A and B are shown apart, each in its own frame.
Chain A
Amino acid sequence: MAMAIDNVFEIDFSCYSTSTTTITTADDDPACTWNDWGSPVVDWGSLSSERDEFQDLIESMMDDGTGFKLSQVDNEMSNSVSVSVSVSSDTMVADDETNGEDFKGLRLVHLLMAAAEALTGATKSLELARVILVRLKELVSPSDGTNMERLAAYFTEALQGLLEGSGGGHSKHLIANGTHHHRDKHHQSDMLAAFQLLQDMSPYVKFGHFTANQAILEAVTHDRRIHIVDYDIMEGIQWASLMQALVSRKEGPPTPHLRITALSRGNNSWRSIGSIQETGRWLVAFAASIGQPFSFHQCKLDSDETFRPSAVKLVRGEALVINCMLHSPHYSHRAPGSVASFLSGAKTLNPRLVTLVEEEVGPIGDGEFMGRFIDSLHHYSAMFDSLEAGFPMQGRARALVERVILGPRITGSLNQIYRTRKEYESGPWWEWLNSVGYKAVNMSFGNHCQAKLLLGLFNDGYRVEELANNRLVLGWNSRRLLSASIWTSPQDSGL
């Protein structure tokens, strides 16, 4: 069965990257040395002989020749996967060096796609996937090479995880944040360092936090008591700047009381820097240091992470805000069912404001794995590039962030895509909020202004778009990455 990846032909990852400083020449290119499929790892003999055609296909994908074209392979074998790929001449750049680089990058992409297809396509072949992944692992490493190569390394890891998981039917047991991987839990110090670096090198974290906070400030201008229910408080840094803004606000009752209820889960996500209790302590201390009246509560989610609105203690006269940070890079993936239970349950609490920050997903076709896989490639490619563009010489720093934060995120993304592709509609959460009855709240001029200023502190490649009256989207070059939207419950008349 032929798989048409026609729409993929236009993949041009170079559009996300600024000029890179690494240089690969044909001489260095290990591709030149790829010529043996007879490596011990792969025993082609054990595979069906009809695979010869496909073997050629794979080989030619690795081929170092220029302007390669793979002819469509029609294979009657039920187990085979045929890939029809061609590369337009536009992607070949005149310059030899970048030519080699782009070329290699494209090759990696094709391999990744082939592996993904083998893993999940209509004609699955785990064997084939394994083989391709092995080859990929020989080609790329997470710690050196170009952006594309490192990115491919993480995607390879992620696919490997899927492969191992799906082999034994373990997919259900994969933890939502994809930490099932063999790589050890990162040291807290690594986490802290990487988190710090992520914040300093990119606006991803701050964009979500500040946009949400500004909307909250505007919504509670005249309130004395504010209650925020935070879906995923992580280390709590979002609330530092909100508290600062509250103690220094000029309009309305001065220094309103802030109460935060953090949802906690049974299994402490390995990705968080501390436990919820620690976060609470940090927040309490910080609030005390700036004179912000503050109290902190926890609310446990059920074991399946379903949210029960009744578990939240409400106080009369307080302005209720629901804060839902889903996809800033250092956040864990949360099961869609849990998120849905939270957002729909929250509606019954009649919140004054709902802030939602999530990944902005590109066109995903019919929602099948391949489409989302490719979109994911684009997404993280843009992120890697954005870091490099800002800090081209700081490869080590970026490598740390990639290793500790982005890599696991990629794994988590793929896991989520893989596991939910059939069970769940994969549209964005803001669409879902719309459909269940939340009302949009206008994103103010000041908020938009703040976002633009923030991005300006980093790099010109970042941009913010107002895609709806209640939604700002952060993007890198032509790729949209993070969406921040604000809502209110339909019955609310407070605002």
Chain B
Amino acid sequence: MFQPKKPSTMNSHDRPMCVQGDSGLVLTTDPKPRLRWTVELHERFVDAVTQLGGPDKATPKTIMRVMGVKGLTLYHLKSHLQKFRLGKQPHKELNDQTIKDDLQRNAASSSGMMARSMNEMQMEVQRRLHEQLEVQRHLQLRIEAQGKYMQSMLEKACQTLAGENMAAGGYKGMGNQGIPDIGTMKDLGPLNFPPFQDLNIYGGDQLDLQHNMDRPLLDDFISINDNSCLGKKRPSPYSGSGKSPLIWSDELRLQDLGTAPSCLGPQDDPFKTDQIQLATPNTELDSISEIYDAKPVLSGDGIGEKKFEESPKLERPSPRRAPLQAERMSPMINSGSMSQGRHSSFG
């Protein structure tokens, strides 16, 4: 543990020339001649110390006597012994001691101090940066978790009420309440779906309209659904499609918001004027769908970008919105890349 050579100061390259004296001691030629503790010398030192019963028992005086090296002064031995003793302790302290010695020795010690405090500052900055990255990462995961929960909540709410309605024989009624035509929705294109456009749209066809891809993530909730909410498998209220209601595609997810009324069987007139009804596509619709269009906007700080490399990049639409929510909402989003990323991020 004890290093015969101190890290920086004993580097021969930094040092002025050394001369070897008669006694075999190596002294430096700089203004303040210092003893150079060569390996040999140090071994003799260690021998002497051991003879004397260890670093705690040995004193500079006794060591000097035992070693019998000419030119070795008490001063030399004192400091060396001190270091030797410290060498028996954890590394860190030694380094500190070493650094302190270095600083004391260096004529230009101020620059040494500067280096040290700058080093500390650097470390602090590093630490904070690192923490910020951690926070970013965690934030992403947490937002995703909320999204997952929201989704599962929507589905379950729909399931439960769909079941109830069916039990009550209200299904037929739901079908009749279907409104603004499916045709309308078709006009908007398959992926351009504002979430609440469908609040008043019922019927089985809508599933077909929207279908694109299955959401693998859903599988998690499917099994849960089977066990908890439903108890037993219920026939799909959406007989039009061959898909189980449990398997919603991305595009459909937010349609849940629209189908929820079909599940709930609203008590009163679903065509209340104060509900949002979008009978015809208009600019408003498209703009609503834009909520979930994520237009990549590079984050101002480089950190943000780097961190999200492994997951979809931090995209901000203009105006901005949460990137992960954008992914979650990919029904609204035309960009395939979003869905791509989304899958990976949910891994």
Contacts and interface: CB of A to CB of B under 8 A. Distances in A.
Bind each other:
yes
Interface of A: 142-143, 184, 187-190, 192-193, 196-197, 199-201, 206, 209-210, 213, 235-237, 240-241, 243-245, 248, 273-274, 278, 281-282, 284-286, 288-290, 389-397, 399-400, 403, 445-446, 449-450, 453-454, 457-459
Interface string B127-142: 0100110111011011
B141 A200 contact: no
Contact of B329 (A200, A278, A454): A200
A282 B319 contact: no
Given A393-B288, A395-B287, 15 more contacts: A188-B157, A192-B153, A192-B154, A199-B146, A200-B322, A237-B146, A244-B145, A274-B153, A278-B156, A278-B157, A285-B224, A445-B128, A449-B132, A453-B139, A457-B316
B150 interface: yes
Interface string B234-262: 00000000000000000000101110110
A187 B266 contact: yes
B276 A399 contact: yes
Interface of B: 128, 131-132, 134-136, 138-139, 141-146, 148-150, 152-154, 156-157, 160-161, 194-196, 199, 220-221, 224-225, 228-229, 254, 256-258, 260-261, 264, 266, 268, 274-276, 278, 284-285, 287-288, 290-292, 316, 319-323, 325, 329
A184 B266 CA distance: 12
Given A200-B321, A286-B149, A396-B284, A193 B143 contact: no
Contact of B139 (A201, A396, A454): A454
Contact of B322 (A189, A193, A449, A457): A457
Given A193-B257, A393-B287, A396-B276, A445 B131 contact: yes
A278 B257 CA distance: 18
B257 A189 contact: yes
Pick the most buried of A243, A278, A282: most chain B CB atoms within 10 A of its CB: A282
B288 A237 contact: no
Nearest to B154: A192
Nearest to A142: B274
9 residue pairs, one from A and one from B, having the closest CB atoms:
A240-B149, A189-B260, A244-B145, A241-B142, A393-B287, A193-B196, A193-B257, A285-B224, A241-B145
Contacts of B225: 285
Interface of B is mostly: helix
B251 to A, nearest CB: 15
A200 B320 CA distance: 10
A213 B149 CA distance: 16
A453 B136 contact: yes
Nearest to A454: B139
23 contacts: A142-B274, A187-B261, A189-B199, A189-B266, A192-B153, A193-B260, A196-B154, A196-B257, A210-B142, A240-B145, A244-B142, A273-B157, A281-B228, A282-B153, A396-B285, A397-B291, A446-B135, A449-B132, A453-B139, A457-B322, A458-B320, A458-B322, A459-B320
Contacts of A235: 153
A201 to B, nearest CB: 7
A116 B95 CA distance: 73
B126 to A, nearest CB: 14
Nearest to B134: A446
Nearest to B263: A189
Nearest to B131: A446
Which interface residue of B154, B196, B319 has the most chain A CB atoms within 10 A?
A: B319
Nearest to A285: B224
Contacts of B261: 187, 189
B329 to A, nearest CB: 7
Given A285-B221, A457-B323, A188 B260 contact: yes
